[in-house]
Structure 1
Amino acid sequence: MKDDMARHNLSPLMKLRYAGEYVVLRLVAGLIRLMPVDMASRAMGKAWRLIAPKTKRHAHALEHIALAYPDMPPAERERLARAMWENLGRIAAETFQLDRLHAQPSRYTFDVEDARAFVEKNGGAAVVVSLHTGNWEIIAEPARYVGLDTAGVYQALKNPYADAYLTDMRQRYFPGGLHAKSHSTARRLIQHVRSGGAIAFLADLRDVRGVTVPFFGHPATANPFPVMVARTYGVPLIICRTIRRDGAHFHFEARVLELPREGDRQADIQEGTARIHAVFESWIREHPEQWMWIHRKWVMPKKKRKPASQ
């Protein structure tokens, strides 16, 4: 219904443009699916490593790496950024092969037993948070392994044709539904938790309307909603990550994160969100090439404009 409404609201020119983009997307997906998973992942990774550094986003990545690692030599920052692009290219290819990845459990190893035991003892209502590392497109796999009925949240694409196609590939792995961010999404997610389900977020994104937390020694904005839900409804917050091991093979880690419940609601939410980001930072430092450095996470100072010449 949402996609139909979006299409009806488009001008003929935008419909034509989005249709063209969709055709290209399907052609790329078709070519990728002609290859085995490992071959497609490797080929796309090498292609992105070669091409992406020529784009404007490469400069953004280098800027953010320098912010996080001020003592890192420029050559090492460049190496790290190129390795990041290779990981992102692999993710792009693997996204079109999600069904094959999920059908091959030998690709996965798990360190989630503490979270699994907690869920088995206390029930499946939970908030799950992760970050853009390894391959976040398969983050539903550890949630399934732990035994959660998970609902996911995603940022809808402007192109409704591409959005519908990609959502269809992803939503089958979220038994609680996959919801686009909107004004009504929060209400649906809360209802899912109150009904005994779990909700999952990629919680490392910037949120200018959220709270400010320390991240790599600098202020960064963050979404307080995961901690707010966990605290309000008394459910555990499970923090998890995906680590790329050998090519298209992955290791999952998940554990219950202790949240403050001191009585001051706002202070608890602030501190809980900061704890999440402290864990995120420690994980990123272990495998910095697997995080998405192109994202504008930090509160960056505004660059001063040069005064106009007299």
Structure 2
Amino acid sequence: MSGEKVRRRHKGPRWWRRLRYMIEYAALRFVGFVMRLLPMDTASGFMGWCWRMMAPRLRRHPRALAHLALAYPEKSAAERERIALAMWTNLGRVFAESFFVERLLASGRIEDRVAPLLETLKSSHRGIVFVSAHYGNWELAITPTMTAGIKAAGVYQRVKNDYVEALLMALRRERYPRGLFAKGTDIARRLMRVAREGGAVAMLADLRDRGGLPVPFFGRLAPSTNFPAALCRSTDAALVAARVIRVKGARFIIEAEVIQVPRTDDRDADIAETTRRIQSKFEGWIREYPDHWMWAHRRWG
């Protein structure tokens, strides 16, 4: 096949993909515009209802139910269905609330129970590595650092759509004054420097990591990122697990706990044990509020 024919073959798909990305971006901007016209509670509740109605018709709903069956074999199918529907409601609310973060921060709707812990850690002049999960409204988990005057860097999962990527970056950038870094890039040295300088690094650590360590999670081995553990072990930074509990509508409680990082002569064993402790903490929190976690992603592979 000639080079000219190859170029024609690929020109169409690339052109269509770019058009699709632009349509997705325009739709997202339009939805955000409409959401901001509504009262925050109305927007959050409406989008939660929409996701609850639509999600059971999508392929990710059976996957969520299958994961719930693995995690909760003792529960009935009806109980697992209720958890899944409540999960979709929460995810819809999180989507809507992403357009209201600044209003949420100024509204008094967030009860910050992390402040005393952060003041103690701040006075120690150690770096801090925050880990959280896709739990409650995880986008708010970093907000206590802003109140405490701790400058944080964030790690995020890049999306395929460049236009949407830029919008999400704009929505999040102010909460991460030390920068936002995409997974998969060469960021280890930069984040290590942030931690060693007494800054904070924040990341979600509950997704499947194909190159991670297999550690127990709801009774099965799940490939999990060891980066937070390795970062703490290498820099003497404190490891803090944080969660955001949705208490009523668009109202939240933020809690956090220090996870002890073992520091023995066996660095690899220390990292593996710390990774296990992180996932164990997440599992305990999820068992407390199972509808707060995102069951539809491929956590176990």
Summarize the Cα distance change of 1:147–1:263 in structure 2 as closer, same or farther, 3 Å threshold.
farther
Contact 1:152–1:199 at 8 Å: present in 2 too? yes
Deviates more, 1:10-19 or 1:266-275: 10-19
Q: Please state whether the residue corresponding to 1:133 is helix, strand or coil.
A: coil
Partner residue, 2:230: 228
Match of 2:49 among 46, 71, 75: 46
Partner residue, 2:106: 103
Match of 2:18 among 15, 18, 21: 15
Partner residue, 1:257: 259
Contact 2:115–2:144 at 8 Å: present in 1 too? no
Q: 2:161 matched to 1:162?
A: no
Q: Please state whether the residue corresponding to 2:285 is helix, strand or coil.
A: helix
Q: How does 1:198-213 map to 2 (within 5 A)?
A: 198-213=200-215
Contact 1:114–1:255 at 8 Å: present in 2 too? no
Contact 1:112–1:146 at 8 Å: present in 2 too? no
CA deviation after TM superposition for structure 1 residue 256, in Å: 1.6
How many angstroms apart in 1 are the aligned matches of 2:226 and 2:44? 34
Match of 2:153 among 151, 154, 166: 151
Report Cα offsets for 1:55-79 as digits up to 9, x if no partner.
Answer: 0000000000001001110000001
TM-score, scaled to structure 1: 0.90
Q: 2:85 matched to 1:82?
A: yes
Report Cα offsets for 1:163-202 as digits up to 9, x if no partner.
Answer: 1011101111111111122332222212221222110011
CA deviation after TM superposition for structure 1 residue 113, in Å: 4.5
Contact 2:126–2:238 at 8 Å: present in 1 too? no
How many angstroms apart in 1 are the aligned matches of 2:291 and 2:109? 20
AA aligned to 1:138 is L
Contact 2:126–2:236 at 8 Å: present in 1 too? no
Report Cα offsets for 1:116-145 as digits up to 9, x if no partner.
Answer: 243232125111111111101111212223
Partner residue, 1:176: 178
How many angstroms apart in 1 are the aligned matches of 2:55 and 2:115? 38
Q: Please state whether the residue corresponding to 2:299 is helix, strand or coil.
A: coil
Contact 1:124–1:198 at 8 Å: present in 2 too? no
Contact 1:124–1:149 at 8 Å: present in 2 too? no
Partner residue, 1:296: 298
AA aligned to 2:228 is P
Q: 2:219 matched to 1:217?
A: yes
How many angstroms apart in 2 are the aligned matches of 1:258 and 1:124? 14
Q: 2:112 matched to 1:91?
A: no
Deviates more, 1:139-148 or 1:44-53: 139-148
Partner residue, 1:284: 286
AA aligned to 1:189 is L
Deviates more, 1:164-173 or 1:114-123: 114-123
How many angstroms apart in 2 are the aligned matches of 1:15 and 1:185? 28
CA deviation after TM superposition for structure 1 residue 12, in Å: 3.2
Q: CA RMSD in A?
A: 1.4
How many angstroms apart in 2 are the aligned matches of 1:227 and 1:273? 6
How many angstroms apart in 1 are the aligned matches of 2:170 and 2:76? 43
How many angstroms apart in 2 are the aligned matches of 1:31 and 1:143? 30
CA deviation after TM superposition for structure 1 residue 260, in Å: 1.2
Q: Which 5+ residue runs of structure 1 have no aligned equivalent?
A: 1-9, 300-310
Q: 2:63 matched to 1:33?
A: no
Q: Please state whether the residue corresponding to 1:172 is helix, strand or coil.
A: helix
Partner residue, 1:304: none
Report Cα offsets for 1:205-240 as digits up to 9, x if no partner.
Answer: 110101011111111110000010101111110111
CA deviation after TM superposition for structure 1 residue 146, in Å: 4.0
Contact 1:211–1:223 at 8 Å: present in 2 too? yes
CA deviation after TM superposition for structure 1 residue 114, in Å: 4.9
Q: 2:107 matched to 1:115?
A: no
Contact 1:115–1:238 at 8 Å: present in 2 too? no
How many angstroms apart in 1 are the aligned matches of 2:228 and 2:297? 20
How many angstroms apart in 2 are the aligned matches of 1:36 and 1:157? 29
Summarize the Cα distance change of 1:154–1:66 in structure 2 as closer, same or farther, 3 Å threshold.
same
TM-score, scaled to structure 2: 0.92
* Count of matched residue pairs: 289
